[in-house]
Structure 1
Amino acid sequence: MAKRTLSKADRRKRQERRRRIARRVGIGVALLALGAAWAWQRTLPLTNVAVIGATHAPVEDVIDLVQVEPDSVALFSLSSALLADRAQRHPWVRTATVRRLPTGTLRIVLEERVPEVIVLEDGRPSHFLDAQGYAMPIEAATPALYDVPVLEGAPDYHPIQPVASAGLRSLLAALSRAEPSTHALVSEIDWRTATLWTTPTSGHETVAVTLGRFDHAAQLRRLRAFWDQAVLPQPHVTFASVDVRFDGQVVTREQSPSDSSSSPAPPLEDDSALQEAAATPSTPLGIITPSPTLP
């Protein structure tokens, strides 16, 4: 019996039919795999909570905030965004990133806040403030670990809201962006009088510096340049006060032998008073020097 020979058209039809069958089988297998994965994902239990990057925020406190416990819930039923928001309610946590891993682990990666100043209340360390004005308790950190200026006159501690004063937030942000040499120059700040005291250096005692309400980044740069160009080269000259509020000039007063101490500035009650004081130059106490060349 002679073997039947298929025409080219028949062979093409047969190949196309096989391809259609293969595609259907592949789609069916893929749908079964997706269904199995969906069922597995829905039922995969939370077996572990891993907190990464916690230095000052206790791990147990972060876990308490996210309100999840191993073996109590399906992992993928949890909202990553919701859990991250809960973790960020800890005063030391700046940002939190949450991932649900197929191993059953909930992974929480923290970025903690960095102190810019330590606040004193009644002469005692109360809390830190970061560059955005958020407060962090000092119980979890040793103040000596942070070489930051001392701040007096700050608003009361609030665990989740930044300080209301826009002027104080401006100063904190300027400190965070300042060059290390400029940051090291700042020793103490009294926000009630908008006064900064410099760090004592070789040949120079602390100097009172009057600040304005805003534009603190430029004021700190002006102070650094004035310090490098007018203070350090003159170890025999003692400055009783420096005023960097006014663009284009630095108002200074040299300490005379009759000066036993510099007179403190009167307290400024709020930001509006600070703005008024910065906008209305007082009678110069001494010389007016041109604004130094800024680096």
Structure 2
Amino acid sequence: MKLVVTSWNVNSIRMRLDHVTRFLTDQRPDVLCLQETKCPDDRFPSAAFKALGYHHMAINGQKGYHGVAVLSRLPFTSTNVMGFCDKNDSRHIAVTLGTGAKAAAGVTIHNFYVPAGGDIPDPALNPRFAHKLAFLDELMQWQDRAKPTASPSILLGDLNIAPYEADVWNHKALLNVVSHTPIETARLEEFRQTSGFVDAIRQLRPIPEKVFTWWSYRSPDWAAADKGRRLDHVWVAPALASSVTDSSISRETRGWERPSDHVPVSITLDL
């Protein structure tokens, strides 16, 4: 069985509903995990996705900010939501695929939206950056407690950190820019290594290949400048690493009318 899983920060599901339905129609991933949906659960446009065959959904949303969701052609046996930093700000949802998913049954997918952290990389001066670092600390505590890679699992989402030099257009220029500062990259990499997750994109596209998933709205000609960062990630438990056969970065979506500044990131597993 081939399982295709995609992560995409859509920056408002209702504003970009046409983009998501276009992507689903064209690409047909088995599971699409969305971040920054900016939509309360009762306003989520479920009918549009059911019409495309995505009958199974797990939603954790709020009005105007944040929000995560999972759309699936495969059934779930369970869903779970975690909170971080004593905030109810809709930054996580997990699903476990059910027996109807055949060989993928039992795989748990964790969908995360890590805080962006604002513009000033100093927790003493910037509460948003302090929140981001605290969120990463709580991720470490979670993996210590839950051992997420002890069973087949995938962790993905907009982690808002570009951990490696090849994940940004200019390493030296961005060392003091939030998303690529040493304190962020070190904490994210410590979390990944301690938990045991394998970076599926880098497994197939090893350094020094440049890989970007985000291009700023501030760039007047994003494609020509190509000043990107890899903020969106898909990690797999060691038990799934050898099953990852392909990956794709759907850069073309950044050129659609009124796009998200992030693009879909997909992996294919042969289970």
Q: Same fold (TM over 0.5)?
A: no
Kindly name which structure, 1 or 2, has the bigger radius of gyration based on alpha carbons: 1
Q: What is the TM-score normalised by the length of structure 2?
A: 0.22
